[in-house]
Structure 1
Amino acid sequence: MPQFENQYPQAGAFWIPEIGFLLQVKANRLKELEDALHFREICSQGIREIPVALRRKWMLCFVSTDGRFLTHVARSVVYYAAESGRDKLDIWNLTPLEAPVRISAIKKKLEGAQTWRARKALDAGGTLSAKAFEQIMDALKRVDPLAHRIATGLVDRKRPPPELGPTTARMNWAYQRDAAVTALEIAGIPKERLKAAAQLNGENLTDTTSIFDDEQSMRAMEDVLILRDLETGDRDWNYVKSQQYPARTFENGETKLTIVLANKMELEKQLGVDLIYVNETLGAVVFVQYKMFEGDDGEAGYRPDAQLDKEIARMDAAATELAKVAPDVTCDGYRFCSDPFFLKFCTRLLTYEEKSHVPGFYVTREYWKRLVLDRRMEGKKGGKILYPETLGRRYFTPSAFTGLVSRGWVGTSALQAKVLVPFIAAAMKGKKGIVLAVQSKTPADPDDAERRRRTRMPPKPRYPGKRGKVIQI
């Protein structure tokens, strides 16, 4: 039996296909798919649109290059539409058969009441209904037992092992690690400097487990991260660094990044976010709230809840205060948008094993408020639900997001950042009930002062009832 090296992240165990798929491709395209799987765990092929009801269902895929023989089998699924307007068939575990199997031989061995469906599917390609798939597998077993064993070898009926450790603790760990990796990528520091494991399993895990815990230093975990990419001797920031928070400083040449897992209570109450990134080089602060899709690869979607409503309300209140700060008209103060708040919807948060950031989708707070009112988020029973494909192409990828933050194209203005740093420091000092409040100041116009100096009123008019004139010199 072949060893499957190109494992799809979520398909290592308990993978049972509900239906089948016959993929007809040219031989050179098949070679391209095989080559792609040498470098990544999954490849994709554009196919004609399949019924919506068949999306997100595991499919055992048979591959033919000439319409006469089956040469390969694979695991497959359709989650999203392709950019070309077709559907995107995700393929992994692509496995060659020991010898090509003649399709006509399989058709001759078909038995059952709906044989015509199976014959039609073998002729036209595409999806195989549950009944047609069952009949084709039975016929394949009679035609070529070895090919049947290879195909059934992709089916795994073993239940996955139970998760070790409480889910909340594992989510906290995953949020911390992803935020720290994102910060390192923004600062241009190799993410390999962070030694934290992608996933943490253990029966003794608690909600206070930190990615910076070690044998010499066990400190309370708080899942709001304060990240600062440059030290300037700011007194407030020096106070933050002197406290006993779980923290690490990373250096790469002249770049210095300090990551603090800060006490979340007052900051969470005020800002409703999980990550605060301070790009002090360009004077921009970015806030990120994490949310997790349900399902192995986000297929079960995310349902907005009351907790998100509270978090959005906190962001709105903070944004209202920040809007009172005078506008920054400098070149470094220019931003693509004035919204510094982002939501990251994560996929595979609790199963991701790579060293990079967790796959996900970034959207601004303002875009989310529009999206949640849009019909595309309406669920089958009238509720609201967000799937990865609901976003279409309207989101920032993690790499695009880190690029925008590192170059200062998004976030607060430098003037707003100066207001935020003392507020953050005060919250971390443990001050209770602290409120982010900005006194609105109208910027002084030098022309106004000069105009007032050069403007005089004439003496009281000699004839009452007539308006005096303002003389502008």
Structure 2
Amino acid sequence: MPKSHGLIIHFDEEKRGDFLQAEKESQSFSDALSTYDWEIRQRQIVLISFSGTTIDYICLATKGNRVATAKSRVEFYDLVRLESISVRDIEQLLGENTKLQFMRSSSGRGGSIPEKTWDETLSAIKKLRPNQVGEIDRLISLVTIAKYRLTGEAAEVFLQEREALGAALDIFSGSNQLRKDVFRAWAPNLDEVQDYNDAEQVAKLSPKPGGSSFFLSGISKRHIQEESAIQHDLFNWKNEKASLHSMGVSTFNQGSRILEVVYANKNDLEKTLGVDLIYYNQEFHSFVLVQYKLMKDHNEEEGYYYRPDNQLKKEVDRMNQFYERHGGIESIKTHKEYRINSDGFFFKLVPNKGIQAASEQLISGMYLTRKYMNFLLGDDGPKGKQGGALISFNNSPRYVTNTEFVNFVNRGWVGSNCEQSDVLSDLIRSFLNAGQAVLVATEIDTANKSMKSDAA
């Protein structure tokens, strides 16, 4: 595990407005600074002071390329407001030796703070701002483990949850920028990361048995809510909550539009069989369900591949039965009812490459329709050398890419024709009871009261 250290940077008071605007819009702020002991692209935790007598923000910062003599572009992001902690209050909580080092680092234009002083400084700040402990710990975790690829059974579930959330954010925003902003601020609880291998830059994600960790619990607190506010017509989460092992609610904003995402799981991570994304779009009265599967095997001939098992066959049968009961309508009566594909059921096969804090990208996987999956599992589908079903990028070419899937769902080109909320409730409950983790996301436009729903 790398050693911890950080920086204090002083800005003129006139820069405060730039930080406030960046914080409000969940965006970044950049400036040209002299940074001698800071490597390019290196991520640091930084304390920001505007007056020299207070610490006003703690945030992440990354050094970019040189833009002037002895100056480089530095980007500040993931801003956490500290409500102007007095520097003297921090000093009173430090030991004599660390106090002197902190005073030297915090004077003038600021500077680097060595490891021991930095650890004590962060502990003092957490004592003075206990309501921000979770956010400060998230920043520490992010900087500490960002270079490690996280593996293990828990990481495999987190990877599927991450892919589901990323797809929902892309569909909601119509681009990848919101997803990138959310993902680069994600980190797990540092106490849940073990077995660091610096040579291979790998570590194991190992939550405590019976704990309630899930991917959404590691995103910025600005998105976290206590209860579902806009999904009560879609599913009765209040009554269901008592039966759940884990539940989390997050919201994301773009102008007048709000996306609410609910995560629900009746099992702990060790017993979670998979992850489902149910995207419900109320504007088009359609839903799309995506079930995530990991491609754990790899060889030179096929690359990453997936071997279907009995669990997959049960889930395909459940989808087939649901589609037979609530399938697409025979004819359409409005423009919005038109679909290129009115099925609504998909699988996404995801290469199991582990999960990494601060990584912004989705993994390039294979979206497969229910109908295509039935073919792949049938007698005419692709087979491995031993004659069993085997699915890979090479032998199953009619898959849909990440970008294609997001565009199709965003525009309402694919998805079931379904106006009945009780049908969706049955679907959500069915997969929860089958041992799946489910995310459900709902979009509302407060300007015109029109709604879309994302269920993942």
Tell me the TM-score normalised to structure 1 length. 0.46
Tell me the TM-score normalised to structure 2 length. 0.47
Whose relative contact order is higher, 1 or 2, with alpha carbons under 8 Å and at least 6 apart? 2
Choose between structure 1 and 2: higher strand proportion. 2
